[in-house]
Amino acid sequence: MRSEAAEGRTVIVSIEGLSKSYRRGNQIIPVLQDVSFTIAEGEFLALMGPSGSGKSTLLNLIAGIDKVDTGSILVGGADITSLSEAELASWRAIHVGFIFQFYNLMPVLTAFENVELPLLLTGLGRKERREHVEMVLNVVGLADRMDHYPSQLSGGQQQRVAIARAIVTDPEILVADEPTGDLDRASAEDVLTLMDNLVHEFGKTIIMVTHDPRAAEKAHLIRHLEKGFLSQ
């Protein structure tokens, strides 16, 4: 598995012996069991599998918003499992972009302000922030909508604003949990094309959880999770 993903390209995510279980009352639910694989830089990876197989859990662990039980996750050479909570927060702000199924924009902020949010965690000045935001809104084709609130945008447009927010800090990896799950076919198509562009033109690495075969088709590589075990 490892050789196939690497294929001469730089490895950006390297997962080794990863296990994760949840506790519900005094019952322990194993979710991921001894998962190991690597993701190459510039990869567009689709994670598939039945509901409850642990796809979101795996994605959350790679994105550094959940804690592993055992195993290690190296992103860009750094072992994120050894970071403290505060260190992880700063790490996410720089290295990870998030794309959610329901967009998760702040309803009280305009498109511009939503995209600007992650930049507030960097040392950038007001003017530079504006330049960055305008640039990424251009990339997603919504520069003319930057003063609109999420409620004034369609689902597809909201997801594109969310993608702009995910890439505005120029992170190495993007994690997307069912990014087209709430969209009609045309909007889904737009979003997938956009993600494809991010990989091809901007060299981003995308890890996408999806149930949608059309979405998986866009990806270079599909991995299946089955009851906590990774298969092809």
Partner 1 sequence: MGIPYYYSFRNLWTRRLTTILTASGMALVVFVFAATLMLAEGLRRTLVETGSWDNVVVIRKSAVSEVQSGVERLQAAIVETQPEVAIGADGRPLLAKEMMVLINLPKRGSDKPANVIIRGIGPSSLALRPQVSLKEGRMPRSGSAEVIAGASIAKRFKGGGLGETLHFGMRNWTVVGVFDAGSTGFSSEIWGDADQLMQAFRRPVYSSVLFKLRDPGSFTVVKQRIESDPRLTLEAKRETRYYLDQSEAMAKFLSILGIALTVTFSLGAIIGAMITMYAAVANRIVEIGTLRALGFNKRSILGAFILESLFLGLLGGVIGLFLASFMQLITISTMNWQSFAELAFSFSMTFAIAWKSLVFSLVMGFVGGVLPAFRAARMNIVDALRSS
Measure the CA–CA gap between 59 and 31, rounded to whole angstroms.
Answer: 12
Specify the 3-state DSSP secondary structure of 67. coil
- From the list partner 1, Mg ion, ligand ATP, none, partner contacted by residue 52 (C-beta under 5 to 8 A by kind): ligand ATP
Tell me which DSSP letter residue 43 carries: -
Residue 89, SS3 per DSSP: helix
Position 65 contacts partner 1 (CB under 8 A):
yes
Q: From the CB of 56, what's the least distance to ligand ATP, in Å?
A: 3
Site for ligand ATP in 91-110 (CB under 6 A): none
Binding status of residue 28 toward partner 1 by CB under 8 A? no
Q: Does 31 bind ligand ATP (CB under 6 A)?
A: yes
Position 210 contacts ligand ATP (CB under 6 A): no
CA pair distance 111, 169, nearest whole angstrom: 16
Q: How far does Cα 94 stand from its chain's mean position? A: 13
Contact region for partner 1 (CB under 8 A) — 10-18, 73-81, 110-118, 198-206? Answer: 110-118
Q: Which of 14, 38, 53, 56 contacts Mg ion by CB under 5 A? A: 56
How many CB atoms lie under 10 A from the CB of residue 127?
A: 8
Please give the residues from 13 up to 32 whose contact with Mg ion meets the rule CB under 5 A: none
Using the contact rule CB under 6 A, the part of the chain among 10-18, 48-56, 77-85, 167-175 near ligand ATP is: 48-56
CB 20 within 8 A of CB 69: yes
Shortest distance, CB of residue 56 to Mg ion, whole angstroms? 3
Contacts of 76 (CB under 8 A, 6+ apart): 12, 95, 172
* 155 sits in which H/E element: helix 155-167
Query: Does 117 participate in binding partner 1 (rule CB under 8 A)?
Result: yes
What are the angstrom distances between the C-alpha of 125 and each of 106, 116, 202? 22, 11, 24
CB closer to partner 1, 100 vs 229: 100
- Asked if 60 touches Mg ion (CB under 5 A), the answer is no
Taking the least distance from each CB to partner 1, the nearer of 8 and 25 is 25
- Indicate whether 132 belongs to the interface with partner 1 (CB under 8 A): no
**Which residues 74-103 are close enough to bind partner 1 by CB under 8 A?**
85-86, 89-94, 98, 100-102
Round to whole Å and give the CA distance between 156 and 153: 8
Tokens 């750094």 correspond to 78
Binding site for ligand ATP (CB under 6 A): 22, 24, 29, 31, 49, 51-57
